[in-house]
Chains A and B, each alone.
Chain A
Amino acid sequence: MYKFDVVVVGGGHAGVEAAHAVYRLGLSCALVTLNKKNIGQMSCNPAIGGLGKSHIVREIGAMGGIMPIATDMSGIQYRTLNTRKGDAVQALRVQCDRDLYKKAIQKTIKETDIKIFDEEVVDLIVDKNQVHGVVTSKQQLKAKKTILTTGTFLNGKMYTGNEINKGGRLGDTSAIPLSKRLYDLKLPMGRLKTGTPARIKLSSIDVSEMEIQPGEKPTPWMSLYNRPKKHQRQTPCYITRTNKKTHKIIEENIHLSAMFSGNISGIGPRYCPSIEDKVSRFRDKDSHQIFIEPEGVNKDLVYPNGISTSLPKKAQEEFIYSIKGLKNSVIEEYGYAVEYDFIDPRSLNINLENKKLKNFYQAGQINGTTGYEEAAAQGLIAGINAAAKILNQKEFVLKRSEAYIGVLVDDLTTHGITEPYRMFTSRAEHRLMLSQNNAEQRLLRKAFKRGLVSEQRYNEFIKNEQKYKNFLTETLSKKKINSFINNKNINIKLDEKKSVLDLLRRTDANKEKVFKTNPSNKHLYQRAITEHKYQGYIKKQLREIKKTEKQENKKIPNNIDYNTIAGLSNEVKEKLKKTQPTTIGSASRMEGVTPAAINLILIQIKKREAFKQNA
């Protein structure tokens, strides 16, 4: 009676990761999309990674996901950020060729048995709060599990000045009947907005007037496994700036901006303001930075990152012409603000299944996030969990101390969102444990157990881990030295000989000079330095985690009545009622919820259990 195990609605970054995860787990999957030529499309700026985000991409990779490889198949400029800081907060950012990225994703999907439907989903098949698939413009697609990843397409509207167009992305339509259906199902919906800048012809720009920003040499890789044989041809980005004249033009036209006209009710992200916003909020700043990012190696188009806008077309032209190097710009597409529906992610369980609608999962921008990486991560988690249910496996949950993806899912389902959510390293309280470079150490074993990565990859990983272990126990702990160079470049004599490993634990030693590396062990030694640098902090965190672990995973029954708990303040009661946290751990992370309140909840749970036993 079911045609598929899983049907995925949407072919964006969340959709393809979800579908591919289902495929890796050996189940049948349908992917329904409005336009199959746009599967894997990067609809905003053509870059993957960045702070907090490359961490997510590597985590996706460690679980067999497809984003990092597509990034490397299309990467045209690589840069590591925060190089002057430590390993945990360094991040790789990759400028991608928009077309090549899409092609890479589509190729990967084509190699699977995922069935693609080039149709619009107009309805869900719902029976007594259970979802059994979708209705498209052409047919019914029955499936055991349904994953909704519709991005900005739900009731999407684009604004340029006073022009309003329906659609989730320029050139695409929006999904209106589906949005209506979700409202009818009484899911907690809200509106969000985001914006995008104009696209300009590269040939019309005078880059000689701009600062050049070359990529990193040697060019690094995003993926840790299954890398392409070689990089694409690398190209630089350019940096220019707005000026007083630009700001004056914007100020004179600001009343015409869609975002200032009152037409848009959705909330925009504070960390991604439009140029109108920046000019009006930070008046003392008379110049803002603009990154000129190429859209592709062979493409005559750039993405001017930093001037997203919903001003009328004429005003856009005027202020762009006022910018250094952009005087003769030929604008291919104008900037716009896009407003779209989202579903309050607090309506989801930690496995991304809807609390009310069974067999129904949501991932990506529909849950109020922004960013390709955040979307892909949720797609992956939703895909794995939908499959897990079918295979009778335990739900797949990553801890906050285990992965940025764990932080992401927990934040969304616990706190909900007040603006489009994007990842930052400061959201992860166990940041020092979560480096972009140790994603495999954190997640690969777990992924292998579930069947998300191949045995061959797992074996190679174990072999490498053994190699590192031997390097520590054999090479570093057996090599004894009687002096070392300290941080002030002074040679210090030791009373008795110490091993290199011992010296790595000293804060005053210049680690780079303690041990002479060769090309075959350089990366092993770097890893040893990093691990020892954070060791004290991490040990402390692990102790803290252990202390609350038992409590952390304790489930809160979904029909708990917070009103009956004496001693909880009304404010906390309201918060808990609204959020309905699923575990004690997530309740304890809510703002305003004190340890005392947690005790009261624990007691209430216990009471109910006792009551049930007696009944």
Chain B
Amino acid sequence: MSVVFALATPPAKSAICVFRVSGDGCHSALSKVFSGDVFPPNRFSVETLRYKNKIIDRVGLVVFGAPKSYTGEDSFEIYAHGSLAVMSNIVDVFKELGFEEAPGGEFTKRAFLNDKITLVEAEAVSDLVDSTDDRGVVLSNKTLFGELSSKVVSFGEEIDSLRVGVEAEIDFSDEDNDYFDSSLMLELSSLIERFGLFVGACISKRVGDEKNNIVLVGPVNSGKSSVFNRLLGFERAIVSSLPGTTRDMIGSELFYKSNSFSIFDTAGVRETSDVVEKQGIDISMSEVKNADLVLGVFEKNIPDEIDYFKNMCDEKSFVSVLNKSDLNKKEGVFDCFVSAKTGEGFSELKSIIENRFNSGVKDDGYDFLIKERHENLFYSVLEDLEKAKANLSKKESLELVAEDLKNARSFLDEVVGKKFSDSLLGDIFSSFCIGK
């Protein structure tokens, strides 16, 4: 099968990130990025990853030969430093090598098809391959994705309606209808402009340079780590109902609506004799000094407690959150009520955070975080729409314009769903009087 790659660890700042690559012929690419020609399998080695004379990182490399690999194909894994810059550089290199970003569940699917995992394990695969977002994109907020896809769906429909006219002119040119006029060019240009804006807005600041630091504070066992995990969308901090579980600062990146935030979980504040935990508290106090926004997480409505934390952060932007809203009454002067357990209130919390950072910034209405795979699809759509426009303005034959539009539309299949040729014909028949 073709060579695919994936980041096996979450796309967040961490000590190490792991890339997995699998597919026929992927080994021959090794000599293009590492020095040497021979890469014996099943041995860990430290290598310098470079591409076109640019050093990217010192990484760990393990090569697996078919069938002795997870997928049963030739494959290799790279252990690189976990900075976002390194990650995105490696992704770029892989793409230039012609590797494709693996859709969700691809590795497990291949493992199964090559008899590498058992039937029972395979059952678990079905959940994987059917989920749209299993590979750790930080926000797997369904409504967010739904919003994005409804936008894309409407672009898809616009392409479809252009295709109706063009395809009708090809298949029914001997009928006495005017399927389109000069407005086709105008509509196409307008679509390109709006779609371009949309894509641009989607990906700008996707891996932003500016750090928007958020620190979580609050009394012990108010559920800060659970809130932290909920915000990130995956398990990062250890959570237990015992007070004082979080002792070190835990930081991670949160992406939301084209913004990136560094978010830090801290130990709770209480009178403590535990020396280790005391250190944790000291760290969190100093971290508050570097914060741009402080998120106070509470489990009870005690005004004094809230004031204590509010005062602690001086003039920093402070957002007070009452957690455990599934157990508590929604009372008090909190900015927001959430339940880390059920997920209730988190969309609101995220937009409050976002508004604090973006107050005064114009909302262009297209703030979506997209996966790199989607980004590529969208670029391909744009490219083909541009091609259609060029062919149209050069007065090239219409079947080429039709082909460009068809290709553009097919990239949206994954998000929008396929358009079967028969439904396109249906649109033609309902729009025009066809038939002798």
Binding site for B on A (CB under 8 A): 45, 50-52, 81-82, 84-86, 88-89, 93, 269-273, 278, 281-282, 285, 288-291, 305-306, 411, 415, 418, 424-427, 429, 431-432, 487, 507, 533, 537, 540, 547, 550, 565-567, 589, 591-592, 594-597, 599-600, 602-603, 606-607, 610-611
Query: Of B400, B414, B425, which is within 8 A of A595 by CB?
Result: B414
- Beta-carbon contacts of B117-135 to A below 8 Å, as 1s and 0s? 0010011011101100000
B129 engages A271 (CB within 8 Å): no
Q: Which residues of chain A have C-beta atoms less than 8 A from B417's C-beta? A: 592, 594
> What residue of chain A has the Cβ atom nearest to residue B397's Cβ?
A86
Q: Which residues of chain A have C-beta atoms less than 8 A from B426's C-beta? A: 270
What are 16 pairs between A and B in contact, CB < 8 Å? Answer: A51-B173, A82-B173, A86-B397, A86-B399, A88-B399, A89-B399, A93-B174, A426-B167, A507-B396, A537-B403, A596-B104, A600-B129, A602-B113, A603-B109, A603-B112, A603-B113
Q: Which residues of chain B have C-beta atoms less than 8 A from A547's C-beta? A: 2
Pick the interface stretch among B154-162, B281-289, B342-350, B428-436. Answer: B428-436
A600 engages B2 (CB within 8 Å): no
Q: Which residues of chain B have C-beta atoms less than 8 A from A282's C-beta? A: 433
Q: Which residues of chain A have C-beta atoms less than 8 A from B123's C-beta? A: 566
What is the CA–CA distance of A547 and B100 in the complex, to the nearest angstrom?
A: 12
Q: Which residues of chain A have C-beta atoms less than 8 A from B43's C-beta? A: none
CB-CB nearest 5 A-B residue pairs = A86-B397, A567-B126, A270-B429, A282-B433, A567-B130
B122 engages A607 (CB within 8 Å): yes
A487 engages B394 (CB within 8 Å): yes
Query: Of A81, A540, A596, which is within 8 A of B174 by CB?
Result: A81
B429 engages A600 (CB within 8 Å): no
Distance to closest chain A CB from B22 (angstroms): 15
Residue among A85, A432, A540 facing the most chain B CB atoms (10 A cut-off): A85
Q: Which residues of chain B have C-beta atoms less than 8 A from A565's C-beta? A: 126
- Beta-carbon contacts of B377-414 to A below 8 Å, as 1s and 0s? 00000000000000000101111101100110000001
Q: A271-B429, A426-B170 are in contact. Are A600 and B403 (CB under 8 A)?
A: no
B435 engages A425 (CB within 8 Å): no
B170 engages A305 (CB within 8 Å): no
- Beta-carbon contacts of B95-118 to A below 8 Å, as 1s and 0s? 000000001110001001101000
Query: Of B127, B175, B421, which is within 8 A of A427 by CB?
Result: B421
> What residue of chain A has the Cβ atom nearest to residue B401's Cβ?
A85
B171 within 8 A of A: yes
What is the CA–CA distance of A361 and B399 in the complex, to the nearest angstrom?
A: 36
B271 within 8 A of A: no
B191 within 8 A of A: no
Q: Which residues of chain B have C-beta atoms less than 8 A from A291's C-beta? A: 436
B420 within 8 A of A: yes
B176 within 8 A of A: yes
A85 engages B399 (CB within 8 Å): yes
What is the CA–CA distance of A547 and B115 in the complex, to the nearest angstrom?
A: 21
Q: Which residues of chain A have C-beta atoms less than 8 A from B1's C-beta? A: 550
B399 engages A424 (CB within 8 Å): no
B435 engages A272 (CB within 8 Å): yes
> What residue of chain A has the Cβ atom nearest to residue B432's Cβ?
A282
B423 within 8 A of A: yes
Q: Which residues of chain B have C-beta atoms less than 8 A from A415's C-beta? A: 420, 422
What is the CA–CA distance of A571 and B430 in the complex, to the nearest angstrom?
A: 26
> What residue of chain B has the Cβ atom nearest to residue A282's Cβ?
B433
What is the CA–CA distance of A249 and B135 in the complex, to the nearest angstrom?
A: 66
Distance to closest chain A CB from B272 (angstroms): 48
Q: Which residues of chain A have C-beta atoms less than 8 A from B418's C-beta? A: 591-592
> What residue of chain A has the Cβ atom nearest to residue B430's Cβ?
A270
What is the CA–CA distance of A582 and B74 in the complex, to the nearest angstrom?
A: 31
What is the CA–CA distance of A424 and B425 in the complex, to the nearest angstrom?
A: 9
> What residue of chain B has the Cβ atom nearest to residue A606's Cβ?
B113
What is the CA–CA distance of A245 and B119 in the complex, to the nearest angstrom?
A: 72
> What residue of chain A has the Cβ atom nearest to residue B124's Cβ?
A566
Q: Which residues of chain B have C-beta atoms less than 8 A from A424's C-beta? A: 171, 421, 425
Q: Which residues of chain B have C-beta atoms less than 8 A from A595's C-beta? A: 103, 414
Q: Which residues of chain B have C-beta atoms less than 8 A from A507's C-beta? A: 394, 396
A566 engages B113 (CB within 8 Å): no
Distance to closest chain B CB from A355 (angstroms): 22
Q: Which residues of chain B have C-beta atoms less than 8 A from A418's C-beta? A: 422
A591 engages B420 (CB within 8 Å): yes
* 9 further contact pairs, Cβ within 8 A, besides A285-B433, A567-B130, A610-B115: A45-B436, A89-B397, A271-B434, A427-B421, A429-B421, A431-B402, A594-B417, A602-B113, A603-B109
What is the CA–CA distance of A152 and B114 in the complex, to the nearest angstrom?
A: 50
B424 within 8 A of A: yes
Q: A85-B170, A270-B429 are in contact. Are A603 and B176 (CB under 8 A)?
A: no
What is the CA–CA distance of A600 and B126 in the complex, to the nearest angstrom?
A: 6
Q: Which residues of chain B have C-beta atoms less than 8 A from A290's C-beta? A: 436
What is the CA–CA distance of A566 and B120 in the complex, to the nearest angstrom?
A: 12
A51 engages B112 (CB within 8 Å): no
